[in-house]
Structure 1
């Protein structure tokens, strides 16, 4: 592992959670990040008391969101959102650059019980069929970018590969893992992720196979088979050998994990990005949101005690307002 580059840092044997560690394998023209989530994921999940299967799916989505969101080079927002017919019909993860993450999931308890009975309560099984959207928001004065991928039971890892194939045209491998450490008093959740991308100087070397034409008319020209670059094939094979337990092992540092994968080629690591669970909601922002409703809509929100209460779906914080506080100005 290269420790001499002016952009790199000393190798650490100490495992550190809630960090995204950028790295590069120069001989193979690949770059990427390793993400390890611990206390931040625990905090995120603790607000909701999800069933374990739902927590596992949210953990995967959080790891993927941090993998992609920490690539932002500006103070903006990266959002992952799924809408499906599955047990989890809505899943949202927000990453506010440079370091804040929050999430929530909406699920059907009856469907979850049925999925358990059918041994189908995996993250992919719970998401079902629908779509996955990645949204990049640079701020109010700029246009948002959104990429959409069809979910057809393939799970987030495969959906991420499909996204990079059809939207970014960057050869990419993503690995995700979630684990629960069960203690005598309480359990702790961990999530890990690895992304590796092929970024050679030559655009021709980055070319990817065309998408499957699907039900093309008979006699239509078929795309020519295209061989992948040898360096990318090697990088995929090395990165693809990572095991789930390695991605969530609390005693294995991200640096040592990368050394296991790429030591034959040499890997350079850079300054890690700290990640924390934090919600952007505030009393003022919610009051402004309430003022945007019509007087009749605000009247309909008044409870029997004469107050208007709002609970944030992300962090679970409940805020109570006098109706006069949120009258439109």
Structure 2
């Protein structure tokens, strides 16, 4: 194995980062991600059953892997919509390497068992992948929930939509989460090892959750691929981050009828709301609400 970029701090922990790797002389590439602080930031703001915490961890790892794999310069949202115990699972990434996630449960939810699968939690539903680039058109893809796991559903999506053989391994234990993604690119003259795909996938199948969630990323790759020639790239740091702001919430108020906004202010003395992701509280005075109602296109006091 070899690094494509060397770093002085070889002992730096590999958590809360994503790292790209390639197998030399093949058409196989991969990404490995591990999260602990960013994952904990999500869970600390809510009180989820263990099964939900694990699924949110897999969602965070998946959205990080997908974002980096397609090199998206923009925001990606991975959303599971269902009719079961879980009505919504959502994870989002932005260009700054920030991640956030949330779950919404049925009002009459029966607590799931710790080992509940994605299908058992969601029931009938679908996965929506939304790409919102800084430049260009917004894209949305729909994925059927026809597998027990998030990884299986996403593999089916890549097989049907991208037509690229893709494998994912997603693991979470409520404290740390991680994932590995392998992808076979179209054959070209540089591919001198036609058996590489089957071989590296078989080796990845031996990966244990304990290894992925406790070891340095390079140690994980060494354990799996010490007999392969692997080129490892500079890691990218990841962290929890929320994109909520007074400006965005103020803009959202434009869609609410003026009479309804005024009624809320009359009853409460202000209009208060809270971000579902990070629990930051925002309040708008009667004057600020009137500024939105009377001239929604102008800069109002809410943005200052």
TM-score by length of 1: 0.81
What is the DSSP-based 3-state SS (H/G/I as helix, E as strand, rest coil) of the residue aligned with 2:176?
Answer: strand
Q: Counterpart of 1:245?
A: 210
CA-CA distance at 1:297 after TM superposition: 2.9
Task: Give, in whole Å, the separation in 1 of the partners of 2:106 and 2:116.
Answer: 12
Conserved? CA contact 2:204–2:224, under 8 Å: yes
Task: Give, in whole Å, the separation in 2 of the partners of 1:245 and 1:110.
Answer: 34
Residues 73-103 of structure 1: CA deviation (Å, up to 9, x unaligned): 3530111011111211111111002301111
CA-CA distance at 1:53 after TM superposition: 1.8
**Structure 2: runs of 5 or more not aligned:** 296-304
What is the DSSP-based 3-state SS (H/G/I as helix, E as strand, rest coil) of the residue aligned with 1:304?
Answer: helix
Question: Which of residues 47, 50, 54 is equivalent to 1:49?
Answer: 47
Are 2:115 and 1:150 aligned? no
Task: Give, in whole Å, the separation in 1 of the partners of 2:80 and 2:166.
Answer: 21
Task: Give, in whole Å, the separation in 2 of the partners of 1:160 and 1:241.
Answer: 20
What is the DSSP-based 3-state SS (H/G/I as helix, E as strand, rest coil) of the residue aligned with 1:112?
Answer: coil
What is the DSSP-based 3-state SS (H/G/I as helix, E as strand, rest coil) of the residue aligned with 2:207?
Answer: coil
Give the root-mean-square deviation of aligned CA atoms.
2.3
Conserved? CA contact 1:2–1:8, under 8 Å: no
CA-CA distance at 1:194 after TM superposition: 0.2
Question: Which of residues 177, 183, 195 is equivalent to 1:197?
Answer: 183
Conserved? CA contact 1:112–1:121, under 8 Å: no
What is the DSSP-based 3-state SS (H/G/I as helix, E as strand, rest coil) of the residue aligned with 2:265?
Answer: coil
CA-CA distance at 1:120 after TM superposition: 6.0
Task: Give, in whole Å, the separation in 1 of the partners of 2:103 and 2:129.
Answer: 16
What is the DSSP-based 3-state SS (H/G/I as helix, E as strand, rest coil) of the residue aligned with 1:162?
Answer: helix
What is the DSSP-based 3-state SS (H/G/I as helix, E as strand, rest coil) of the residue aligned with 2:137?
Answer: coil
Conserved? CA contact 1:120–1:126, under 8 Å: no
Q: Counterpart of 2:300?
A: none
| 1:1-329 superposed matches below 5 A | 1-3=1-3, 5=4, 7=5, 12=10, 14-108=12-106, 110-113=108-111, 115-116=112-113, 121-139=116-134, 142-152=136-146, 154-180=148-174, 189-202=175-188, 230-249=195-214, 252-302=215-265, 304-327=267-290, 328=293, 329=295
What is the DSSP-based 3-state SS (H/G/I as helix, E as strand, rest coil) of the residue aligned with 1:111?
Answer: coil
The aligned length equals: 289
CA-CA distance at 1:285 after TM superposition: 1.9
The 1:11/1:315 distance shift into structure 2, 3 A limit, reads closer
What is the DSSP-based 3-state SS (H/G/I as helix, E as strand, rest coil) of the residue aligned with 1:241?
Answer: coil
Residues 194-249 of structure 1: CA deviation (Å, up to 9, x unaligned): 0011125439x9xxxxxxxxxxxxxxxxxxxxxxx522111211122211221111
CA-CA distance at 1:17 after TM superposition: 1.1
User: Which stretch of the first structure deviates more once superposed, 153-162 or 296-305?
Assistant: 296-305
The 1:13/1:199 distance shift into structure 2, 3 A limit, reads farther
The 1:122/1:303 distance shift into structure 2, 3 A limit, reads farther
Task: Give, in whole Å, the separation in 2 of the partners of 1:144 and 1:100.
Answer: 20
The 1:247/1:303 distance shift into structure 2, 3 A limit, reads farther
Task: Give, in whole Å, the separation in 2 of the partners of 1:190 and 1:30.
Answer: 27
The 1:124/1:134 distance shift into structure 2, 3 A limit, reads same
CA-CA distance at 1:16 after TM superposition: 2.1
